[in-house]
Amino acid sequence: DAKTTQPPSMDCAEGRAANLPCNHSTISGNEYVYWYRQIHSQGPQYIIHGLKNNETNEMASLIITEDRKSSTLILPHATLRDTAVYYCIVRGGNAGNMLTFGGGTRLMVKP
Partner 1 sequence: DSGVTQTPKHLITATGQRVTLRCSPRSGDLSVYWYQQSLDQGLQFLIQYYNGEERAKGNILERFSAQQFPDLHSELNLSSLELGDSALYFCASSVAVAQGAGNSPLHFGNGTRLTVT
The DSSP symbol for 93 reads: S
> Least distance from C-beta 19 to partner 1, angstroms?
22
Q: For residues 46-85, which are near partner 1 according to CB under 8 A?
A: 46, 49, 51
Distances, alpha carbon 33 to alpha carbons 6, 69, 77, 85, in Å: 13, 10, 22, 17
State whether the Cα torsion 23-77-47-109 is positive or negative: positive
The DSSP symbol for 82 reads: G
Closest CA to 102 of 30, 35, 10: 35
> Least distance from C-beta 55 to partner 1, angstroms?
12
**Span of 4-12, 24-32, 53-61, 73-81 interacting with partner 1 by CB under 8 A:** 24-32
Contact with partner 1 (CB under 8 A) among 8, 29, 40, 41: 41
Rank residues 95 and 111 by Cβ distance to partner 1 and give the closer one.
95
Binding site residues, partner 1, CB under 8 A? 30-32, 34, 38, 41-46, 49, 51, 91-103
